[in-house]
Amino acid sequence: MSQEVTKERKKIMTQRTTVIDLASFQSGLTVDNYKAIGAEYAIVKISESTNYTNPYIRSLIDLSAAGGIKGYAFYHFGRFHNDAQAVAEANYFINAAKARANVKPGTLMILDAEIQGMPTSSVITFLDTLRAAGYRTGFYTYKYLLPNFDLEAIHPHMDMFWLAAYLLANGRAADKNPDFNYFPSTNYVDLWQYTDNLLGYNVDGSITITDNAIKLFNPSTAPAPQPKVDQSKPVVNPQTTWTDTLGDTWHNESGTFTSNTWLHLRWGARVTSAPIGVLPPGSVIKYDAYSRHGDFVWLRQPRGNGQYGYIACRDARTGEPYGTFK
């Protein structure tokens, strides 16, 4: 038996630990929700491309820490297609992590690689930029995308491999005990993301595969929750969150949504609201806020003169998006 195989087998663990990942769409989770989920570790989205930083980093950390999360890592959704862009995005990730979460060197920083046309060489460049700044590195992708990458080439440049392969159809709730008969048989997997709807909370759920996965979560990067947090209610920041006259809660978030199907653009965030028009697949909507109510997640589009358009971007019940976000 080779030394390398022996090392790989020694890493395998028998005790499994639940890990969740958190982005702006989980900003409505309460401390009680986190307690009910019962995860021990979380991976928080920091940034995307070079023009988006998650506005809810602080509250996601504070509430999840109050709800039992004891260790954190952080991730960046990559949109680069060459080495120069990879360096720019890695530096954007590092700077945003420092500014918004006081992330220290030695922390696990992960590349989320799920777009087409991302070269292996650029993945390596991104990870090496993180390492040069003193961070531990992780690589995340979906199993069906693995043929797009040279995993053997990437492996020496990453400290953790996080692989997504869902047992159930997107949006179907899963419990905390995945069926390992369906484990994605791929080399080097430390963390398996097996659902996008853990326990019905519309949060991605992963399970640790190796001791390495646990060791890389650094509890020191999880600032203690604010002492005055009411643990029965979500934190509401009046500067970024408000309730409109219909009773719907909105959150500031600037971004671009590109549809992948026909959608109505409406004068209000209701399916009964008057339509402005019907947009074809590939339509690009710049938005400044979102709200999850009814059966959908809605985006608000500024249209000038104080007017707004509204479009449903996601099924709130299943989590299925109707396009991509940037």
Sign of CA dihedral 270, 273, 279, 284: negative
Cβ–Cβ under 8 Å, residues 53 and 44: no
User: Above 90 in pLDDT, residue 205?
Assistant: yes
Cβ–Cβ under 8 Å, residues 324 and 282: no
Find the mean pLDDT for residues 193-202. Answer: 93
Q: Write down the pLDDT at residue 253.
A: 85
Q: Write down the pLDDT at residue 212.
A: 86
User: In sequence order, which residues have a C-beta less than 8 Å from that of residue 146 and are 6 or more positions away?
Assistant: 163, 186
Q: Write down the pLDDT at residue 242.
A: 79
How many Å apart are CA 319 and CA 27, to the nearest integer?
Answer: 14
Cβ–Cβ under 8 Å, residues 43 and 110: yes
pLDDT tens profile 97-142:
999 888 989 999 999 999 999 999 999 999 999 999 999 999 999 9
Name the token pair of 103.
Answer: 């992330």
pTM comes to 0.66
H or E stretch at 207 = strand 204-208
| 6 or 278, greater pLDDT | 278
Residue 197's Cα: distance from chain center in Å? Answer: 13
Q: Write down the pLDDT at residue 308.
A: 85
- 276: confidence class by pLDDT, cuts 50, 70, 90: confident
| β-strand pairing of 249-259 with 263-266 | unpaired
Task: Give the residue carrying structure tokens 């449903």.
Answer: 312
- Residue 197 DSSP label: S
User: Above 50 in pLDDT, residue 69?
Assistant: yes
Q: Which of 40, 41, 74 is nearest to 57 (CA)?
A: 74
Q: Write down the pLDDT at residue 176.
A: 92
> N- to C-terminal Cα distance for the chain?
47
